Structure 1
Amino acid sequence: MNDATIPFDGCITCERRGHVLMIGMNRPAKRNGFTPAMFRQLGEAYTLLDDDPGLRVGVLHAFGAHFTAGLDLPTIAPLMRRGEKAIPLGLVDPVNLGLPGYRRRTKPMVAAVKGITYTLGIELMLAADIVVAADDCRFSQLEVKRGIMATGGATLRMTERAGLGNAMLHLLTGDEFGSAEALRLNFVQKVVPAGEELAEALRLADTIAAQAPLAVVATRLNVLKAVEHGPMVAVQDFFDVQQRLSNSDDAIEGVNSFVEKRDARFTGR
């Protein structure tokens, strides 16, 4: 899709790559600033990932030099004033907050971030499971500079990853920081030279997609349960989930591949 065919209010692209769904934010002329149309399409893309049995992992990336400058306030502010959501109810929520009326993602998401990654960009990557950052990233959670509050998960996940003081440092000042600081704070998991971030994210996604899908989803959900509800709540799922997984075709394949000294061929059943 060239610049002439990109809608003025941007779009979200979906490209299948084997068991991986590449989800692209495409409004480079406006630094991928998010409009209502992009929000709706992003929710639809995340829902496609969860609903299609042939898809196992998502990769969130962006076209152009930057991940996203965040909200396109002239188009989003009217919705905010009316208390309306840009993503229709019933879809998977890309920031995965568990809000009433929205679904939560079950399959893994890897984010590849680069250049300007402001506000919503940080919240989308914190809602992903693994983040690969280019070494040219410029991060800022700058809502306080616009008279609003971060409501896409930054106040929760920054504190969880980096501790109270580090979260307050960046949330209350709206300052700009780089990839090294994001790595120090556990906001990203890998930093690579600019231009290599998408290839590395795809490599990780392919590695995850090669594992047993039911086990991947169960593992991811148990980790989130431990974070959100505490370790002892997550422990309660151990035996029932393990029994269910052990009776799956994939568990049988896992044993057979071990005995036969070959790569497993998982089907998600």
Structure 2
Amino acid sequence: MSLGKVSREIMGHIMLIGLDRVAKRNAFDSHMIADLSLALTEYENNPELRCAVIFAHGDHFTAGLDLVELQPKIPQGIFNFEEGQVNPWGVSGRHRTKPIVVAVQGFCYTAGVELMLNADVVIASEDTIFGQLEVLRGIMPFGGATVRFVQAAGWQKAMPYLLTGKTFDTQTADKLNLLSEIVEKGKQLDRAIEVAQEICIAAPLAVQALLASATDAVTEGQMFAFQKMDSYLKPLFSSQDAQEGVRAMLERRLPDFKGK
């Protein structure tokens, strides 16, 4: 039986994380779920890494959950990660603080849609087919789609797909506000890396503070986010990176941020 895992590659300040269970169309079994959590935790814990790109080997991003393998294990808490480990879907446990770009192609079903909904930037190949199929399997989405899909698309646009499990193409996903960009088939990873490189030019502490503030607004509300903003902003003004940002502006060059 093909056991799932994820590949890891460091490219400068970027960590490339690849779903690697090609024989099963990258369907998530317990092994790949665990390894993805470990890889994201490695990314989160490494101060030299500023952005992660999640992609998939083979023709498909993922066929979703391998329910045959997972069903007997779910009651044991296969999605309850150890303290200190990042939950790839961000619905419980430790949450990441650094940005993630996701590149998708082929089938992108169930947990795959939810994985990209939990990302910050999504690059989709023009051939991608999406589906939140859980209701056709006798269950419901539990990786964030009941919240994030509705937030992104709006109730009336999201429910026809959540309630029926019907699939939809890349153009529809774009209209539903689930994607950042659509690219030519086969170009999704290259474009995702380009975006990640652009993110890595920015000050990493500022990027993390921005993500935290935006997350506050989505999860806790606008007033909470405004009230907490100073707690993120003040440390940035006293950082070495803020000084470097001013110097770079005056010297008309790209900044060289150190995350300090």
Coarse TM-score class (shorter-chain normalised): over 0.9
Per-residue displacement from partner, 1:143-165 (whole Å, max 9, x unpaired)? 00000110000110111001111
**C-alpha distance in 1 between matches for 2:231 and 2:25:** 46
**Aligned pairs for 1:117-266 within 5 A:** 117-266=108-257
Name which of 24, 28, 36 aligns with 1:30.
Answer: 24
Tell me the amino acid that sits aligned with residue 187 of structure 1. L
After TM superposition, the structure 1 stretch with the greater mean CA deviation from structure 2, 135-144 or 71-80, is: 71-80
By how many angstroms is 1:167 displaced?
A: 1.5
The alpha-carbon deviation at position 129 of structure 1 amounts to 0.5
Query: Which residue of structure 2 aligns with residue 3 of structure 1?
Result: none
Report the Cα offset of residue 260 of structure 1: 1.1
1:22–1:60 contact (8 Å) kept in structure 2:
yes
Q: What is residue 13 of structure 2 aligned with on the other side?
A: 19
| Structure 1 SS opposite 2:6 | strand
Inter-partner Cα distance in structure 2 for 1:131 and 1:88: 25
What's the CA shift for 1:10?
Answer: 2.0
Return the alpha-carbon distance in structure 2 between the equivalents of residues 79 and 33 of structure 1.
15
Render the CA deviation track for 1:105-140: whole Å, top value 9, x for unaligned: 100000000000000000000000110000000101
1:69 maps to which residue?
Answer: 63
**In structure 1, distance between residues paired with 2:231 and 2:98:** 20
User: Can you list the C-alpha shifts for 1:20-74, whole angstroms capped at 9, x where unaligned?
Assistant: 0000000111100111110110000110111000100010000000000011111
- 1:180-203 deviation line (CA, Å, top 9, x unaligned): 010001111100111000000000
Please give the alpha-carbon distance, in whole angstroms, between the structure 2 residues aligned to 1:60 and 1:87: 21
CA distance, structure 2, for counterparts of residue 251 and residue 78 of structure 1? 51
Q: CA deviation at 1:237?
A: 2.1
Task: Give identity over the alignment, percent.
Answer: 42
Residue 238 of structure 1: how far off its partner (Å)? 2.2
User: Are the aligned partners of 2:2 and 2:24 in contact in 1 as well (CA < 8 Å)?
Assistant: no
C-alpha distance in 1 between matches for 2:79 and 2:218: 27
Contact 1:257-1:264 at 8 Å conserved across structures: yes
User: Gaps (5+ residues) in structure 2?
Assistant: none
The equivalent of 1:88 in structure 2 is 81
The C-alpha deviation readout for 1:165-188, integer Å capped at 9, x for no partner, is 111110111001000010001111
What is the CA–CA distance in structure 1 between the aligned matches of 2:229 and 2:2, rounded to whole Å? 49
Give the Å deviation of 1:86. Answer: 4.1
**Secondary structure at 2:10 match in 1:** strand
1:107 pairs with one of 84, 98, 113: 98
In the aligned structure 1, how far is the partner of 2:15 from the partner of 2:80? 20
Give the secondary structure class of the aligned counterpart of 1:173. coil
Q: Contact between 2:4 and 2:21, CA under 8 Å: does it hold in 1? A: yes
Aligned-residue RMSD, C-alpha? 1.0
Q: 2: distance between equivalents of 1:264 and 1:230?
A: 33
Alpha carbons 1:136, 1:179 under 8 Å: kept: yes
Q: Quick check: 1:39–1:87 contact (8 Å CA) kept in 2?
A: no
